[in-house]
């Protein structure tokens, strides 16, 4: 049995990640002020947890988690196979593409975190996690209101709603509030004081108002989905079987109307449909084509963007313009299948199916409404709904995988509850409540190592911004070679140099870029714009551009 001191330490680390990752921003220092610091914190959390798990391995009952470990092991093994055999740039696959950073390192880190969340999950920890989600939602709502009032001290460059939260995008802010809103809603079921329930109700209204001000409907949709699940569980647990069936039918019917409305069908079409849904359909079509053409290894981790132009339809290239592109499928399932192949998709679906099974097992055997568990179930459903029409933004995917781990682990801990109680009573199992000094050293060493590994994109982003602000040609040119190499940063550097008449330096940068990223359309296009390029080479460049973007009639 896991020592109590280790359980508490792991719980605190995951809780720290839940509050730190969504608010980690560097708006005045980095070109990418959101994803790169979030990645750094995510990796530090995972490395620290991994170190603790290795040190405490003798007290972990791995047999209780064999299905979870098996799925995670196969998932990571397949990730490594994709990493090796997909033929995409290794550095880009490892850290992920600019502005996304959902590469190999991210998913290995998430796997460690999911397992640790399962390991610490019990009745007590679920209460702590509910409180933390409540706090995250409160912070995100307060910041959203500040942005709505025009009092945000950070000068975000955003052409959409000013209410973008800490995640830099109204869709992500909306989705985060929707997930946390389920927790807030469920807290009103607790047997607390009337004042506490009124406070939660006022908070929920403010949260919904903030979602509305993002001008992004996905937050309202995933909040509604999570709340509906919580209500269904509540009705079931109070023993109203006939009413439960009636509510189930109503939920399925209304859910179908909402789903149709999102795609501009049915009576809710005028209310729910947005033009951006049409673009998402094009992204999904391209992701499906990549999957079917590369079913084994996909196109490479986080490499959707390099293949989108080749995979999109002619209509996608004309309706929104040939330069309207995407670097993600805006559907997590298609992201996995297009980037990593059908096997990777199958493993991920299996992991989510196992989470669903764990949820059902708990609901079937409990005889009263458990608000802590139900809140996390609703939040998990809310995350799954948003993942169908959005992306694995780092803060959101961290929350989603933590929720999966907690729900899997809670089923295991409640399944073994009586067994563990008997062991404790007989004196065969004793929990140690004092944390051994070695764990302090482990946290320091693994945390430092995790920062060194996970912070490289952040450091490069900071150095790149500093180079641009310096105006020094040598520094700007050299920033293109910062590790990890990024085609978008190379493109930005070459563009800046070209626009300032440093053509020779710009061509040198493009040479480095095309050597490492030969399938980057934007690098080839920029190269074609230099007058120094001979006509014969220009013809070759145009041919390459047509290969990479066959539906673009402007080439």
Answer yes or no: is 449 within a domain: no
Per the structure, how many domains does the chain have?
A: 2
Last residue of a domain, one of 407, 426, 445: 426
Q: What is the pTM of this model?
A: 0.92
Are both 364 and 494 inside the same structural domain?
Answer: no
Answer yes or no: is 465 within a domain: no
Are both 74 and 189 inside the same structural domain?
Answer: yes
Interatomic CA distance for residues 412 and 523, integer angstroms: 51
Spatial CA neighbour of 521 closest among 499, 490, 484: 490
Are both 317 and 187 inside the same structural domain?
Answer: yes
Give residue-wise pLDDT tens across range 156-173.
Answer: 877 778 899 999 899 999
Give residue-wise pLDDT tens across range 513-532.
Answer: 999 999 999 999 999 999 88
> Could you tell me the pLDDT band of residue 424, with boundaries at 50, 70 and 90?
very low
The domain of 505 spans: 471-548
Report the chain's mean pLDDT, rounded to a whole number.
90
Phi, psi torsion values for 77, nearest 5 degrees: -65, -45
How buried is residue 418: exposed, middle or buried, by Cβ count under 10 Å (0-12/13-18/19+)?
Answer: exposed
Average pLDDT over residues 379-396: 93
Length of the chain in residues, anyone?
Answer: 555
Are both 479 and 399 inside the same structural domain?
Answer: no
Answer yes or no: is 461 within a domain: no
Answer yes or no: is 477 within a domain: yes
Answer yes or no: is 459 within a domain: no
For residue 1, the model assigns a pLDDT of: 67
Q: Are 107 and 41 in contact (CB under 8 A)?
A: no
Last residue of a domain, one of 362, 393, 426: 426
Answer yes or no: is 414 within a domain: yes
Least confident of 71-85, 181-195, 367-381: 181-195
Give residue-wise pLDDT tens across range 310-349.
Answer: 999 999 888 888 888 999 999 999 999 999 999 999 999 9
Interatomic CA distance for residues 225 and 222, integer angstroms: 5
Least confident of 115-119, 161-165, 249-253, 304-308: 249-253
Answer yes or no: is 453 within a domain: no
Are both 170 and 318 inside the same structural domain?
Answer: yes
Are both 487 and 377 inside the same structural domain?
Answer: no
Residue 309 predicted with pLDDT over 60 = yes
């Amino acid at each position: 049995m896991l020592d109590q001191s280790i359980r508490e330490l792991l719980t605190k680390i995951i809780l720290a990640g839940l509050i730190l990752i969504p608010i980690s921003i560097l708006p005045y220092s980095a070109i990418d002020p959101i994803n790169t610091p979030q990645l750094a914190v995510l990796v530090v959390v995972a490395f620290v947890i991994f170190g603790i798990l290795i040190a405490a391995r003798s007290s972990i009952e791995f047999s209780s988690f064999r299905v979870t470990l098996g799925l995670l092991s196969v998932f990571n093994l397949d990730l490594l196979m994709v990493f090796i055999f997909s033929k995409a740039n290794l550095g880009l696959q490892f850290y992920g593409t600019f502005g996304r950073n959902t590469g190999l390192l991210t998913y290995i880190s998430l796997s460690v975190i999911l397992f640790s969340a399962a390991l610490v999950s019990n009745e007590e920890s679920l209460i702590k996690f509910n409180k933390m989600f409540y706090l995250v939602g409160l912070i995100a709502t307060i910041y959203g209101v500040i942005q709505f009032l025009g009092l945000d001290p950070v000068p975000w460059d955003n052409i959409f709603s000013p209410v973008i939260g800490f995640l830099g995008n109204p869709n992500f802010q909306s989705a985060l509030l929707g997930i946390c809103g389920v927790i807030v809603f469920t807290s009103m079921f607790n047997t607390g004081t009337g004042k506490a329930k009124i406070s939660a109700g006022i908070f929920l209204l403010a949260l919904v108002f903030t979602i509305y001000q993002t001008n992004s409907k996905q937050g309202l949709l995933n909040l509604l989905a999570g709340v509906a699940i919580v209500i269904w569980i509540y009705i079931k647990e109070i023993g109203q079987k006939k009413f439960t069936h009636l509510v189930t039918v109503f939920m399925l019917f209304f859910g179908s109307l909402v789903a149709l409305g999102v795609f501009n069908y049915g009576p809710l079409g005028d209310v729910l449909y947005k033009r951006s849904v049409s673009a998402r359909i094009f992204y999904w079509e391209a992701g499906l084509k990549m999957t079917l053409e590369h079913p084994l290894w996909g196109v490479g981790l986080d490499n959707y963007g390099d293949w989108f132009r080749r995979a999109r339809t002619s209509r996608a290239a004309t309706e929104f313009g040939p330069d309207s592109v995407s670097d993600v499928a805006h559907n997590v399932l298609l992201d996995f299948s297009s980037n990593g192949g059908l096997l990777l998709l199958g493993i991920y679906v299996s992991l989510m199916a196992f989470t669903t099974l764990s949820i059902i097992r708990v609901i079937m055997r409990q005889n009263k409404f458990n608000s802590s568990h139900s809140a996390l179930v609703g939040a998990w459903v809310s995350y799954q709904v948003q993942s169908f029409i959005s992306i694995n933004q780092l803060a959101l995917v961290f929350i989603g995988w933590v929720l999966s781990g907690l729900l899997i682990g809670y089923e295991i801990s409640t399944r073994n509850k009586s067994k563990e109680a008997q062991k404790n009573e007989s004196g065969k199992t004793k929990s140690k409540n004092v944390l051994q000094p070695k764990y302090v050293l482990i946290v320091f060493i693994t945390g430092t190592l995790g920062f060194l590994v996970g912070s490289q994109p952040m450091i490069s982003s900071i150095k790149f911004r500093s180079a641009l602000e310096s105006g020094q040609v040598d520094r700007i040119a050299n920033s293109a070679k910062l590790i990890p190499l990024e085609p978008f940063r190379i493109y930005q550097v070459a563009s800046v140099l070209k626009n300032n008449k440093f053509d020779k330096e710009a061509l040198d940068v493009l040479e480095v870029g095309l050597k490492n990223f030969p399938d980057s359309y934007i690098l080839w296009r920029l190269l074609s714009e230099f007058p120094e390029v001979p006509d014969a080479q220009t013809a070759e460049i145009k041919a390459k551009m047509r290969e990479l973007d066959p539906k673009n009639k402007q080439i």
